[in-house]
Amino acid sequence: MNSRTLEIGVGLFVAAGLAALFMLAMQVSNLASLGGDADSYTVTAGFENIGGLKVRSPVTVSGVRVGRVSAIDYDTTAYEAVVTLSIDSTYNAFPNDTSASIFTAGLLGEQYIALDPGGAMENLGEGSRIRLTQSALVMEQIIGQFLYSMAAKNEEKTSEE
Amino acid sequence: MLDAIQQLGRATLDFFERLGRGHLFLMQVLVSVPATLLRPRLVLRQMHSVGVLTLLIIVVSGLFVGMVMGLQGYNTLVDFGAEDSLGVLVALSLVRELGPVVTALLFAGRAGSALSAEIGLMKATEQLSGMEMMAVDPVRRVIAPRFLSAFLSMPLLAAIFSAIGVYGGWFIGVSLLGVDDGAFWSQMQDKVDLHGDVYNGVIKSVVFGFVVGWIALFEGYDAVPTAEGVSRATTQTVVHSALAVLGLDFVLTALMFGD
């Protein structure tokens, strides 16, 4: 085989390999949606129970993703979980009485934090703390409460009779 | 009785001697690699026979593995109404495991066995000794370019395998079975992590390329210089490479995704 076709073959092979790596990075993984840490700011929020929330879970407002959970710690003095949210700095005008709730995407989906803007004049900034939070709903607790209230109702009925 | 013990002892000593020779051989090859970089033409020629000629089997296998993943994944996920996650399933299994491992197994079968047979035959026909007589270092002239090209080709082949596989899964899932196109890609992009999944997959394929290249070249270089010896070396390359790849894959997976 002459040297030119051989070189073209190797060149095409390497180009195809690099294109495949590029495709895996851009199309398959989250490189395109990562964004640098430089253009984001962090706020913290304390939750009684974070359920199945994980680092890198999404943070949304009205369903639009505005950031990610960057760290989860436990505060041993306040007895609550402290979640650090890293929010894209294009979304820098949330009032400082914005509330944060942990919801579940779908019935069995992953958990995410939804922010609900309040009406205060001052905005959240780097290092602010979100005061109003709502914990994750834990399925067992809900079922437990439901069963308890059913039992209570039944008891009322039987006592009325 | 004593004979049996003696045989056991000899087998053990032989094993360790061979292991030691293998490592000395690897050292020799690694030392020769920088010198090889000065002669890229030799590497280029080997890249052609090791990489380019393996491309076809990699592309076809990748396509079919991806298509099977798409079918099987769809049939399982549709029971839970989670067929939108098909993209995640296909991409994660390919990028993390199937891409590097299946590519390495095919690579050992297609390119590794060819390398062993070539080197073994060179030894059997005394071409390697001939080179030494002419003061040409056969490790530097023959072995190192082959090792380098195996090492460079494996990650590229694994990446091509995974990328083609994802498109195979996409073809079955989206075009034939009616999974939503947007959900397929967006869920995949959401769940597949560049560092955690893609980089680790590439690291795996680099390690496998190193190991398969080493085993193939050592088996050839260390072959008994007869027809039977060469055939034995070729077989052992495929068997040992497959075992090494699967064993190492477990260790690497435990290290990378074990937490």
Give pLDDT tens digits for A131-160.
888 888 777 888 888 888 988 888 888 877
Residue A118 has pLDDT above 80, yes or no: yes
Shared-domain flag, residues A62 and A25? no
Shared-domain flag, residues A11 and A82? no
Shared-domain flag, residues A28 and A56? no
Residue A109 has pLDDT above 80, yes or no: no
Average pLDDT estimate for B154-162:
94
What is the rounded radius of gyration, in angstroms, for the C-alpha atoms of chain B? 22
pLDDT of residue B141: 87
Q: B82 to chain A, minimum CA–CA distance in Å?
A: 10
Residue A34 has pLDDT above 70, yes or no: no
Q: A122 to chain B, minimum CA–CA distance in Å?
A: 33
pLDDT of residue A1: 59
- The answer as to whether A96 is a domain residue is yes
Rounded to 5 degrees, what angle do the CA atoms A105, A106, A112 make?
10
Average pLDDT estimate for B185-198:
82
Shared-domain flag, residues A17 and A95? no
- The answer as to whether A15 is a domain residue is yes
| Residue with tokens 């002419």, as numbered in its chain | B134
A 31-70 residues with CB below 8 A of B?
A: 31-34
CA distance A13 to B157: 9
Shared-domain flag, residues A132 and A94? yes
Shared-domain flag, residues A125 and A90? yes
Share of chain B above pLDDT 90, in %: 61
Q: A31: which chain B residues are within 8 Å (Cβ-Cβ)?
A: 194
Average pLDDT estimate for B59-69:
94
- The answer as to whether A133 is a domain residue is yes
Sheet arrangement for strand A111-116 = A129-130, A40-47, A80-88, A64-75, A58-61, A111-116, A99-104, A132-134
Q: Are strands A80-88 and A40-47 parallel, antiparallel or unpaired?
A: antiparallel
The chain-wide mean pLDDT, for chain B, equals 90
Q: Is A8 on the interface with B (CB under 8 A)?
A: no
Q: B158 to chain A, minimum CA–CA distance in Å?
A: 8
- The answer as to whether A106 is a domain residue is yes
- The answer as to whether A129 is a domain residue is yes
Q: Decide if A24 and B163 are in contact by the 8 Å CB cutoff.
A: yes
Q: Decide if A6 and B160 are in contact by the 8 Å CB cutoff.
A: no
- The answer as to whether A158 is a domain residue is no
How far is the CA of B175 from the CAs of A20, B69, B172, B189, in angstroms? 21, 14, 6, 19
Shared-domain flag, residues A69 and A89? yes
Amino acid letter, residue A13: F
Shared-domain flag, residues A82 and A20? no
Rounded to 5 degrees, what angle do the CA atoms A132, A136, A137 make?
125
Q: B190: which chain A residues are within 8 Å (Cβ-Cβ)?
A: 30, 33
pLDDT of residue B117: 94
Shared-domain flag, residues A67 and A107? yes
Q: Decide if B164 and A28 are in contact by the 8 Å CB cutoff.
A: no
Confidence of residue A22 (pLDDT cuts 50, 70, 90): confident
Confidence of residue B250 (pLDDT cuts 50, 70, 90): very high
Q: Judge if pTM exceeds 0.95.
A: no
Q: A154 to chain B, minimum CA–CA distance in Å?
A: 35
The chain-wide mean pLDDT, for chain A, equals 83
pLDDT of residue B186: 80
- Say how many domains are in chain A: 2
Domain of residue A8, residue span: 1-32
Which of B14-18, B32-36, B151-155, B228-232 is least confident?
B32-36
- The answer as to whether A60 is a domain residue is yes
Amino acid letter, residue B43: V
Is pLDDT larger for residue B185 or for residue B101? B101
Shared-domain flag, residues A55 and A115? yes
Residue A38 has pLDDT above 60, yes or no: no
- The answer as to whether A63 is a domain residue is yes
Shared-domain flag, residues A7 and A53? no
Q: A106: which chain B residues are within 8 Å (Cβ-Cβ)?
A: none
Q: Select from A136, A76, A77 the least CA-distant residue to A103.
A: A136
Q: How many CB atoms lie within 10 A of CB A51?
A: 16
Shared-domain flag, residues A65 and A126? yes
Residue A108 has pLDDT above 70, yes or no: no
